[in-house]
Structure 1
Amino acid sequence: MFSTLDVEIRPGSGLGAFELGNVVLRIFPYSVIQDCVGASLWNIIHMLRQMQHLFPQVEIKYDPDTSSTTPIILHLRPHLDLLFSGKHQRLRTICVRRLRDTSPPVTLRYKDVVLSSADEVLRRVGTSRTFGPTYPGDDLRYPGVWFGFEEDGIGEGRKGAVYHEDRSQEVKRVLISQKEVDTEEGDALGEIAECPIMNGDIALAIAKVHDGVTLHFHPSTSTPVHVRIGTTTAQDLAVILGPPLHVHYKEDDRMTIHSSLHDESDTGYFYNYFQHGIDFYISGNTHTVQKIVLQSNVPGTPLFQVYKRCNWEIEGKPEDDEDDTPPRKRFYDRFETISHFLNPREPPPSMLLDRTNDEENITLPSPATRLYGYDGVILEVSEASQVLTITLF
């Protein structure tokens, strides 16, 4: 016996536990927790792992040919498709499908009205009664929510067209998206507009070799923060980013081979900020930042979904003193481009790394990556020439 999936439609905002643009506050004993469900791919999958009783089957769909910037669809069988934008991996559109499938049955509500259930068929006339008039067309489109009458595809009928509607036509799909991007001219696979649920997240991380990283936060009016190698302390990080989700006390010796300055007597530790896609290696002696690791969260790679995507860029030196736009390379640029940017000569020798050696239950088509060491920076690169992590030291 399947339990019913009972969810409320919030046009422009979300569906059930999945949020597009609003912050949900949940009160627990002695604390108030801001729940960021729906803010990012990392948040959503983390939540789904705790809701396997409701969503036992989850498929991740993406384009392997553009794995760094591919839009991603989470298919929660059989009813839900969650579309995430390609660059920032944020929830952009929610699609509810197969409304008549009873394994499990789904109930859709809007405010106090049951729109669709095992006993209630949602039709064009019922939609119009609940949401009011809208322009004629193959779909019923309202700010933040669309109702479609085909299982796949979006109707092309637009305002001004001659159209004879069937009042009893059955709704087959419901799409919820942000109102700000729900326009005829909007890119269906583009990025979502900045909204309060992003506040406190890192919008951009600008990395400088032999220096550190400058973190830009949402909202865009926030003041950037500079984390310097050898200067910023663990206490500073706690003030800037809050306490880490995890503290790891063993350094990966596979990385120390690239550093001639490594002190074997300094047993440091990592501050892991999985929710920001950043690790900081901190000296056990001085408690200052010694290394910074930025994660790309590329689908199909060993570290996918361990960390949230960090939107990083490597900044080079300005061409002259008056150049206020120094050159940069971004996380989605190919390894060959970034390597030439760091050093115009041939790439250095690499180390082979297979992160699945320590994980018995992970099987990937191409699990091996390579580590390339440059002066002050290490690149971890996939077989598809995507830079998966950068390490500043």
Structure 2
Amino acid sequence: MLDLNVLPERSLGNEQWSFALGMPLSQIVQILQTHCRVIKSVEVIYQEKRPIESDLVLNLNSDGIKLVFDSTAQRLKVIEVFNMSKVKLKYCGNYFNSPQNKPTPEQIEQAFGATRPGQYDASLQSYIVSFRGLTFFFPVDAQFENFFAKHSLSSATSSLPTDFIPAVSRMCIYAGSQLNETTAPAMPLSCYHGNLYLDSAEVSFKENGKECDGLDLKLITVPDNKNETIILEKSVKFGDSVQQVLAILGSPCKIFYKLQDKMKIHSASPRKLNETRHTDYFYNYFTLGIDILFDGKFHQVKKFLLHTNFPGHYNFNIYYRCDFKIKLLGEENCVDVTPCTLWNDVIGQLPFDVGKPVVLNRASSTNNTNPFGSNFCFGLRNMIFEVMSNNHIASVTLYNPQKQLK
């Protein structure tokens, strides 16, 4: 049984780990993987067809905990304990829920103090008591519904037989004063760990407005010995050297060397199948949601990959979501493309046909199964949009149309 400390409007955790409001999905998953011997059952719940329209949920069934994430920001929005019998909970060192301490109204008031009178919700058949950033649900027996609807919880329970005094069935931790109005807060300073994170990335274009030439980035970090975030505005362009990229973004999370390029077959170049002595390589910036491909001979930027990190994609949770913005010239005005834009909405506003897609089936070299099926790659100028079967964009590849780097 998990023994956890409750911090209203902040977190739920213990000395080894903590689920903090505003924490990115990737960091939560890392905690679950590290402590898999203790937290044994995790279920991912999301809308497959419309993943933006509802929250993404991690359900810890064995521990009675539900972690609710904002589907756009992919940060923790609500921590819910839906089975109080599976966890021990304390506040300021005092247990208010354990096998020895039943979470009755008296126990909650003793642990957290007085608060505003609660409200009875007939649709939930529950009496709801709220503190700032914390809400408790007390189920009410059907025969006492009218009684609780007219009386406060304390006065109602004092008039009931002991066997009918309700105990907390659910508890929610959130930011703000209203559970139904809460949003995911900004990422806590404790989650930065000295890394750079992406606030936004705007694809820059050449003067003709048709070919992209790089990225304009807004980066967020917390400097050493500082208690506040700072925003850095940087640009990375095609043709930038490795040294220039390292000076701007720092060391990558990982370096990956390409063994082969399976897309070469679609090239019109007569030398597309010639062997090369120089291996191209990626700098993987997972916390930015960006990969940068360098030419193996000249060591200059030749491609950018921007990841949207949708559940149901083969690479889900490897990258943070890249919050990019691409301005495409439409028939009457600019078409803004973001990670949440549906592909049909993009092509419906373009004055030309993007043509038929290339079918992409991602599979590992060690495990040739992909439960999520194939995606479709559409070429648009010097960009490639990878689109999932639910019409959402999985990734965008920006490539340098110049044939020779130097």
State the TM-score, normalizing by the size of structure 1: 0.80
Look up the match of 1:229. 238
Find the aligned partners of 1:250 and 1:211 in 2 and give their Cα distance: 23
Cα distance change on mapping 1:369 and 1:347 into 2, 3 Å: same
Look up the match of 2:393. 387
Match of 2:293 among 259, 265, 281: 281
Match of 2:189 among 191, 196, 200: 196
Find the aligned partners of 2:368 and 2:77 in 1 and give their Cα distance: 31
Look up the match of 1:54. 38
Partner AA of 1:54 in structure 2: V
Match of 1:356 among 348, 354, 363: 363
What is the 5 A alignment of 1:89-108? 89-101=74-86, 106-108=87-89
Find the aligned partners of 1:319 and 1:227 in 2 and give their Cα distance: 29
SS in 2 for 1:222: strand
Find the aligned partners of 1:161 and 1:275 in 2 and give their Cα distance: 52
Find the aligned partners of 1:173 and 1:252 in 2 and give their Cα distance: 53
Partner AA of 1:331 in structure 2: P
Match of 2:168 among 148, 160, 171: 171
Find the aligned partners of 1:340 and 1:260 in 2 and give their Cα distance: 28
The share of aligned pairs that are identical, in percent, is: 25
Q: Is residue 143 of structure 1 aligned with residue 132 of structure 2?
A: yes
SS in 1 for 2:84: coil
Partner AA of 1:223 in structure 2: L
Look up the match of 2:383. 377
Shift, 1:198, TM fit: 6.4
Find the aligned partners of 1:109 and 1:150 in 2 and give their Cα distance: 21
Find the aligned partners of 1:260 and 1:197 in 2 and give their Cα distance: 50
Q: Is residue 41 of structure 1 aligned with residue 41 of structure 2?
A: no
What is the 5 A alignment of 1:233-252? 233-250=241-258
SS in 2 for 1:224: strand
Look up the match of 2:108. 127
Q: How big is the alpha-carbon RMSD for the aligned residues of Structure 1 and Structure 2? A: 3.1
Shift, 1:123, TM fit: 1.3
Find the aligned partners of 1:361 and 1:5 in 2 and give their Cα distance: 37
Find the aligned partners of 1:300 and 1:224 in 2 and give their Cα distance: 32
Look up the match of 1:116. 97
Query: What does the per-residue CA deviation read over 1:21-62, in whole Å, with 9 as the maximum and x for residues that have no partner?
Result: 5xxxxxxxxxxxxxxxx6211121122122110121110011
Query: What does the per-residue CA deviation read over 1:211-244, in whole Å, with 9 as the maximum and x for residues that have no partner?
Result: 111222337861321111112x323333333322
Partner AA of 2:340 in structure 1: Y
Look up the match of 1:300. 312
Cα distance change on mapping 1:308 and 1:251 into 2, 3 Å: farther
Partner AA of 2:236 in structure 1: V
Q: Is residue 211 of structure 1 aligned with residue 213 of structure 2?
A: yes
Match of 2:65 among 76, 80, 91: 80
Cα distance change on mapping 1:235 and 1:7 into 2, 3 Å: farther
Partner AA of 1:88 in structure 2: A
Cα distance change on mapping 1:311 and 1:54 into 2, 3 Å: same
SS in 2 for 1:47: helix
SS in 1 for 2:363: helix
SS in 2 for 1:67: coil
Shift, 1:258, TM fit: 6.0
Cα distance change on mapping 1:356 and 1:337 into 2, 3 Å: same
Unaligned runs of 5+ in 1: 22-37, 152-159
Partner AA of 2:111 in structure 1: T
SS in 1 for 2:236: strand
CA contact (8 A) 1:86 1:191 kept: no
Match of 1:183 among 170, 174, 178: 178
Query: What does the per-residue CA deviation read over 1:173-204, in whole Å, with 9 as the maximum and x for residues that have no partner?
Result: 2211123xx436x634x443465356642121
CA contact (8 A) 1:69 1:332 kept: no
State the TM-score, normalizing by the size of structure 2: 0.77
Larger deviation: 9-18 or 210-219?
A: 210-219
Look up the match of 1:156. none
